[in-house]
């Protein structure tokens, strides 16, 4: 396996080691032990938060089948993403960590499509536009998951993945005129604020392997984005 190190000091080498791909001995973390502990714990919190959100929204959505489906897809996406991320960051270096890194990236698509589902099925429920966007989101999610499962480290796949994240995430701008008619101003503000939090976090994600703790900061942006968009969905139901 090939490591990128800086300087001749062993401690410095251990601090800056970055392994680019799984090798014969398995996948090695891109991050320090301290970072990985923070990454795992932060997303344990995110997962617990997501489960609580799921329960609250399901109670409010019941017995409306359309609303219950929408919030359940949101809850499933949130809990699955944070669970896979926690396991990835918690596991020691090795093949299992490499496998869960793939799961971690794949579940980002579940989060995005799951977050859109309540807005498509509740705010735009019963409309052609709502169903079309719902279908596009889940087709993109399935395509993204398949691509990442097969060749996540491929440069082309990485580029397509980032493009899909951005396009899927900000498709709401196309729906903005319709959402203004069916959502309160407060719900729209929280929806946009969540999108801004997720998008702002991408900068820290992109630099996470080069600058210490940037990936951990990205986790905090993720949690903020999830919480803000939960409030938006909550406002759809009350």
Q: Is 43 annotated as a binding residue?
A: no
Q: Which CATH architecture fits 34-237?
A: Up-down Bundle (1.20)
- Nearest 5°: CA angle at 60, between 55 and 62? 95
Q: Specify the pTM.
A: 0.85
pLDDT tens for each residue of 105-136? 999 999 999 999 999 999 998 799 999 999 99
In the chain, what are the domain boundaries?
34-237
State the residue for tokens 């973390």. 29
Is there a contact between 20 and 5 (Cβ–Cβ < 8 Å)? no
Q: Is 105 annotated as a binding residue?
A: no
Start-to-end CA span in the chain (Å): 54
Backbone angles phi, psi at 29, to 5 degrees: -60, 145
Q: Is 219 annotated as a binding residue?
A: yes
pLDDT tens for each residue of 207-220? 887 889 999 999 99
pLDDT tens for each residue of 46-80? 999 999 999 999 999 999 999 999 999 999 999 99
């Amino acid at each position: 396996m090939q490591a990128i190190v800086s300087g001749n000091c062993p401690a410095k080498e251990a601090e800056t080691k970055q392994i680019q791909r799984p090798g014969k001995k398995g996948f090695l973390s891109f991050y320090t032990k301290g970072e990985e502990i923070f990454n795992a714990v932060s997303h344990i919190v995110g997962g617990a938060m997501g489960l609580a959100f799921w329960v609250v929204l399901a109670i409010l959505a019941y017995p409306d089948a359309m609303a219950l489906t929408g919030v359940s897809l949101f809850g499933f996406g949130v809990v699955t993403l944070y669970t896979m991320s926690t396991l990835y960051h918690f596991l020691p270096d090795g093949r299992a960590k490499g496998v869960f890194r793939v799961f971690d990236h794949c579940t980002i698509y579940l989060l995005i499509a799951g977050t859109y589902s309540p807005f498509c099925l509740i705010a735009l429920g019963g409309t052609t536009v709502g169903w079309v966007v719902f279908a596009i989101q889940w087709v993109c999610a399935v395509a993204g998951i398949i691509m990442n499962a097969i060749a996540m480290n491929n440069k082309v796949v990485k580029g397509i993945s980032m493009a899909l994240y951005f396009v899927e995430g900000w498709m709401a701008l196309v729906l903005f005129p319709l959402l203004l008619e069916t959502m309160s101003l407060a719900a729209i503000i929280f929806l946009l604020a969540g999108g801004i939090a997720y998008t702002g976090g991408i900068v820290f994600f992109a630099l996470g392997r080069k600058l210490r703790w940037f990936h951990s900061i990205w986790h905090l942006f993720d949690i903020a984005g999830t919480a803000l968009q939960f409030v938006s969905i909550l406002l759809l139901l009350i």
